[in-house]
Structures are given as C-alpha cells and as structure tokens.
C-alpha cells in the first residue's frame, strides 16, 4: 500500500504501483547461494594469496595455478562448462555471483586463456578426441595457455592477420609473428589464428584456428616490457613451425567463426565489478588515512566529490549488469550492449587507480618498492606502476573505441 499525504480525499483511488519491468534483486535462494560462496571463500582463500592481490603484488605462475587448483579440487573452477566436463550446473546468476564474490574477497584472477577461451571453443567446435585430450588438463591447471590473435598491424582489424599456415600432408607449416601475447613466457600452449588460404577475396575467409605446443621447434618468445617495468606481454615468432593437422579446431578456413565466438566470451568477463567494489572500499579506507592541511582526504570536498562520482558510476555499472542478468534469467542472450560493461568496467578500474595515486600524493613517487619494509609501504610503492599498467584495460579485449563502434552499429543501428 502506498502512503498518501494526510488530508487527501479518501475517494481518490490509490495509485497502483507500476509493475516491475526489471528485477534487480537477488531472490532468497540466490542470496543463500551468495552467503555459501562467501563463507567458503573466507575459509579457503589462503591469506598470503589474498595479501598479494590486495597489495598489488605481481603474481607468479605458481600463485595463479595455486588458486586454480584449489578451485578445481572443490569442483568450482569451471562453472560454465557442461557438468559432464566438470561444470557446476549453476545458472547464469549463480555464476555471476560466484565471480563477483571471488573478486570481492581478493582471490587471484583465473587466467581466462585456457578456462574461458580455449575451453569454450573446444566445447563448441572441438572433436571428441580434442575435448578428451585438452579439457581435463585445462580443468586441473596442468596446461597454461595463451592467446595468439593480434599481430603487428592486425589488432582492431584482426581479420587482416598474415601469419601463414601452409598444409604439407598431415602438418601445417606456420610462419609469422604474434604480438602482445599475454603470459606467453609462462605458457605451455597457444591458440592461434593463422591464414591458411591467402587467395580468398574476403579477408575473414581463409583463416584457421590452430593449437600449438609452445615447445615446438621454431617458436621464439621475446618479452615486451610495459611502462610499469613488468614482463606481462610478449612477441611470439613462428619460423617453420610444424603443427599436426589434428590440432586444428573446426574446419579449415572457418577460423573466423571460431574467433568471433571467442571474442564474445572474452568481453563478458571484463567488468570485474566485485574487484572494483573491493578496491573502492580500499580506496575510501586509504584516503581516510591520508592527510592534507591537517585533515583526512575523505573530508576534502573536491576529493569527496570524485569519490562520490566514482561510487555512482560503479553502482550504475552493477545495475546495468543486473539488468543483463535479468534478461538472461528469462533466456534472452544479451547482444552488443555487453560492450557497455567492457567500456564502463575498464574506465572504473582506471579511475580507481587514479584516485589511489592521488590519495597517496608524492609518497607514491618517493617509495622504492625494494626499500618498502612493510605491506602498507609496498602497496603505496606499487601504485604508480599499477596506474601505468592499468592503461591497458581500455585497449585489450577489443579497444573501447571499437566497443563504441559495436554499440553504435549493432545496438543503436547507426
Ligand atoms: C596489455 C595487453 C595485453 C594484450 N594481450 C593480448 C593477448 O594475450 N593476445 C592477443 O592476441 N592480443 C592481446 N592484446 C592486443 C589487443 O587485443 C590489441 O592491442 C587491441 O586489439 C588493439 O589493437 P592494436 O594494438 O593493433 O591497435 P590499433 O588497432 O592499431 O588501434 C590504435 C588506436 O586506434 C583506434 N582504432 C582502431 N580502429 C578504429 C576504428 N575503426 N574506429 C575507432 N578507433 C579505432 C584504437 O581504439 C586504438 O586507440 C593485448 C594488448 C595489451 C595492451
């Protein structure tokens, strides 16, 4: 019943509440599920791993696979896979809740190249033999994968890629170069887009999708050091690399179909709302300990204004995401609008690093990470490199300009 102002004529009918167009609340079951996940994370996320994440320490392969294996032992590492391959059978809301709770708790990220990307492709397009060979190893974290899509001059315009694969009997001979290949220096396997027929007029045709063992002779990995000084991405060169034809996924020259399918999966996971919520709380707590003119920064009107704007953006992102989830609950797959999640999610991640840096002030420049003798100082020392590092988020997984083009074309019909 909606309360009416005193004195209102009793004969005026009470306005009926509008029917809810979108349900943005979790149901009682969904809340109970969230509490279970939260409780399990509290008991099972090793504090040392969490500390590394919240203090922005670079994670080693052991850190990344360590958390992967804890989740695999629990049966929670690949929620979206079919249950026969180890999936949890959770619905789309539960999967989202799980991901967000992991981010909120400070769990190390799960590297998506094997679990999310290659596995989705194998599940959709792989033969039974390919599934049997690769999926269990991906599930257990035995193989570490990387993604060989981008090339010099073929990033946004991916279909112009030139790395060639020439068929010789039961092998392809691969020559060319990939670039920006994240964690290739840690990887056991790479999935690649290669050109198998350069004669076809449409550049999207003539591309195939190959899986390559990184130990194959002829593969060379060279580091590219990012502006934060970290080794995260690489160039990968292929010099007469022989790849068995059985490592091709889907038909020859149909790799673009696979590539497009995979890009959709890549973009769904870029909003990272749980992580941003945790970092926002961390930012507020940190700003409260930083003083300007004798007052905590959280009492500075201009800084508070920036904090508030950021919080509103984050809430709006969460609501947008819940709106998509509600659509998916009803069986409707979200379309090009998911690009909004990538744009806003990554802009917020960058804003968080900017405000953390602003809160630390000159101290962020003054502390050398090698001199930091406590976790707080190490975290402050990590802020400037992290600010530089996070510039990447609006570039990778399809730059934000490209996402805007997608929205304009496919969602707004421009
Ligand atoms: C840290 C990092 C990690 C990465 N990891 C991987 C990886 O593991 N595997 C992999 O394959 N790739 C990876 N990439 C590559 C990434 O996908 C590309 O950098 C991205 O697609 C952009 O391509 P590009 O760098 O060639 O830039 P370009 O495509 O040359 O674009 C340059 C600029 O022009 C803009 N632009 C281009 N075309 C248009 C257009 N039509 N309309 C409007 N603006 C446009 C872009 O937004 C960008 O600002 C990574 C990149 C980074 C930075």
How do residues 205-237 score in pLDDT, each as one tens digit?
999 999 999 999 999 999 999 999 999 999 999
Which residue has its alpha carbon closest to ligand 1 atom 35? 401
Neighbouring residues of 367: CB distance < 8 A, sequence distance ≥ 6 = 377, 380, 381
Cα 165 to Cα 178: distance, rounded to the nearest angstrom: 13
Cα 220 to Cα 161: distance, rounded to the nearest angstrom: 19
- Using the predicted structure, report yes or no on whether residue 5 has a pLDDT greater than 70: no
Give the mean model confidence (pLDDT) for residues 361-383: 79
- Using the predicted structure, report yes or no on whether residue 18 has a pLDDT greater than 60: no
How do residues 140-158 score in pLDDT, each as one tens digit?
999 999 999 999 999 999 9
pLDDT, residue 372, reads: 65
pLDDT, residue 325, reads: 79
- Using the predicted structure, report yes or no on whether residue 369 has a pLDDT greater than 70: no
pLDDT, residue 383, reads: 94
- Using the predicted structure, report yes or no on whether residue 405 has a pLDDT greater than 70: yes
- Report yes or no: 224 and 185 within 8 Å, Cβ to Cβ: no
- Report yes or no: 355 and 307 within 8 Å, Cβ to Cβ: yes
Cα 308 to Cα 1: distance, rounded to the nearest angstrom: 33
Q: In this structure, what are the phi and psi dihedrals at residue 30, rounded to the nearest 5 degrees?
A: -65, -35
pLDDT, residue 340, reads: 92
pLDDT, residue 350, reads: 98
- Using the predicted structure, report yes or no on whether residue 11 has a pLDDT greater than 80: no
pLDDT, residue 374, reads: 76
For 248-345, strand residue ranges (E) read 248-249, 291-292, 295-296
- Using the predicted structure, report yes or no on whether residue 166 has a pLDDT greater than 70: yes
Which residue shows structure tokens 């609340």? 25
Distance 154 CA to ligand 1 centre (A): 8
How do residues 111-132 score in pLDDT, each as one tens digit?
999 999 999 999 999 999 999 9
324 or 368, which is more confident: 324
Give the mean model confidence (pLDDT) for residues 342-358: 97
Secondary structure tally for the chain: helices H, strands E: 14, 10
Q: Is 211 helix (H, G, I), strand (E, B) or coil?
A: strand
pLDDT, residue 10, reads: 52
- Using the predicted structure, report yes or no on whether residue 21 has a pLDDT greater than 70: no
pLDDT, residue 363, reads: 84
pLDDT, residue 14, reads: 61
pLDDT band with cut points at 50, 70 and 90 for residue 379: confident
Q: What is the DSSP letter of 143?
A: S
Among all residues, which ones are annotated catalytic? Answer: 266
Task: Determine how many CB atoms are found less than 10 A away from the CB of residue 310.
Answer: 20
The percent of residues in the chain predicted with pLDDT above 70, rounded, is: 91
Which residues line ligand 1 at a C-beta cut-off of 6 Å? 146-150, 155-156, 180-182, 233, 392, 395-396, 398-399, 401-402, 405
Q: Which atom of ligand 1 is nearest to 113's Cα?
A: 8
How do residues 87-102 score in pLDDT, each as one tens digit?
999 998 899 899 999 9
Cα 352 to Cα 276: distance, rounded to the nearest angstrom: 8
- Which one of 149, 150, 151, 229 would you pick to mutate in the ligand 1 pocket, going by the greatest count of ligand atoms within 8 A of its CB? 150
Cα 143 to Cα 148: distance, rounded to the nearest angstrom: 16
Whole-model pTM: value is 0.91
Distance 404 CA to ligand 1 centre (A): 14
Neighbouring residues of 399: CB distance < 8 A, sequence distance ≥ 6 = 155, 156
How do residues 244-296 score in pLDDT, each as one tens digit?
999 999 999 999 999 988 876 666 667 899 999 999 999 999 999 999 999 99
Distance 156 CA to ligand 1 centre (A): 5
């Amino acid at each position: 019943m909606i309360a009416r102002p005193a004195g209102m004529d009793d004969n005026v009918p009470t306005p009926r509440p509008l029917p809810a167009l979108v349900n943005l609340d979790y149901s009682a079951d969904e809340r109970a599920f969230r509490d279970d996940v939260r409780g399990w994370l509290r008991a099972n996320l090793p504090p040392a791993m969490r500390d590394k994440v919240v203090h922005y320490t670079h994670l080693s392969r052991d850190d990344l696979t360590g958390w992967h294996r804890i989740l695999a032992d629990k049966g929670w590492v690949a929620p979206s896979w079919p249950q026969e391959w180890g999936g949890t059978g959770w619905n789309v809301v539960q999967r989202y809740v799980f991901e967000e709770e992991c981010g909120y708790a400070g769990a190390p990220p799960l590297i998506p190249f094997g679990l999310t990307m290659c596995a989705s492709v194998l599940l959709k397009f792989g033969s039974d033999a390919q599934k049997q060979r690769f999926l269990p190893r991906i599930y257990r974290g035995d193989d570490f994968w990387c993604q060989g899509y981008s090339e010099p001059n073929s990033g946004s315009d991916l279909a112009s890629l030139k790395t060639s694969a020439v068929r010789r009997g039961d092998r392809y001979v691969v020559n060319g170069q990939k670039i920006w290949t994240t964690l290739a220096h840690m990887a056991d396997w790479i999935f690649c887009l290669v050109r198998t027929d350069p004669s076809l007029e449409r550049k999207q045709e003539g591309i195939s999708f190959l899986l390559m063992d990184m130990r194959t002779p002829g593969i060379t990995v060279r580091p590219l050091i990012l502006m934060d000084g970290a080794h995260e991405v690489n160039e990968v060169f292929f010099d007469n690399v022989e790849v068995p034809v059985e490592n091709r996924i889907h038909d020859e020259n149909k790799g673009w179909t696979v590539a497009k399918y995979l890009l959709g999966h890549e973009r769904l996971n870029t909003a990272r709302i749980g992580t941003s919520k945790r970092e926002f709380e961390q930012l507020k707590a940190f700003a409260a300990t930083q003083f300007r003119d004798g007052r905590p920064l959280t009492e500075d009107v201009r800084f508070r204004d920036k904090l508030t704007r950021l919080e509103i953006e984050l809430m709006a992102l969460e609501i947008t995401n819940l709106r998509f989830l509600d659509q998916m609950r009803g069986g409707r797959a979200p379309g090009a609008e998911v690009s909004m999640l990538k744009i806003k999610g990554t802009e917020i991640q960058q804003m968080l690093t900017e405000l953390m840096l602003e809160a630390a002030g000159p101290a962020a420049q003054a502390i050398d990470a090698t001199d930091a003798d406590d976790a707080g100082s190490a975290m402050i020392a990590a802020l400037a490199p992290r600010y530089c590092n996070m510039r990447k988020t609006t570039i990778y997984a399809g730059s934000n300009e490209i996402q805007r083009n997608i929205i304009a074309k496919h969602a707004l019909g421009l």
